[in-house]
């Protein structure tokens, strides 16, 4: 009855143990890459440098710097928009950095890992 699987233990000459070892190696490499990404930081600016946001590869905001010249008590809304824009761009770039790094290991099969 075990023959009903058509020799699944040997997939086109690749033995299942080798396949498992390669999968474990890839998983280890991905975890190491994720740890390295957590240490990387990105600096994003908005408003011509008026706002600077620093974010890690884990999307943890580390710092927000605001140029005092853009602090106008009569136009807080503009300042809020600049901060929001910088933070959103920082998160987008952190996501992109993560996806690019993981693609090296998944070969475009990101949904599987």
Q: Tokens standing for 55?
A: 């974010």
> Which stretch of DSSP H or E encloses residue 23?
helix 16-39
| Separation CA 34–CA 40 (nearest Å) | 10
Question: Looking up tokens 């991905």, which residue turns up?
Answer: 30
Residue 113 pLDDT level (bands cut at 50, 70, 90): very low
CB atoms within 10 A of CB 43: 14
pLDDT-wise least confident of 28-32, 56-60, 79-83, 109-113 = 109-113
List, in order of start, the domains of the chain with CATH numbers. 13-112 (3.30.1310.10)
The whole-model pTM stands at 0.69
């Amino acid at each position: 009855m075990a023959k009903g699987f058509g020799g699944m233990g040997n997939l086109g000459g690749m033995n299942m143990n080798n396949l498992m070892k390669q999968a474990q190696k890839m998983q280890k490499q991905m975890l190491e890459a994720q740890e390295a990404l957590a240490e990387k930081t990105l600096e994003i600016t908005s408003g011509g440098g008026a706002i600077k946001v620093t974010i890690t590869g884990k999307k943890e905001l580390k710092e927000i710097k605001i140029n005092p010249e853009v602090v106008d008590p009569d136009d807080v809304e503009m300042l809020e928009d600049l901060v929001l824009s910088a933070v959103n761009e920082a998160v987008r770039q952190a996501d992109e950095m993560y996806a690019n790094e993981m693609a090296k290991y998944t070969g475009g099969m990101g949904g599987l890992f």
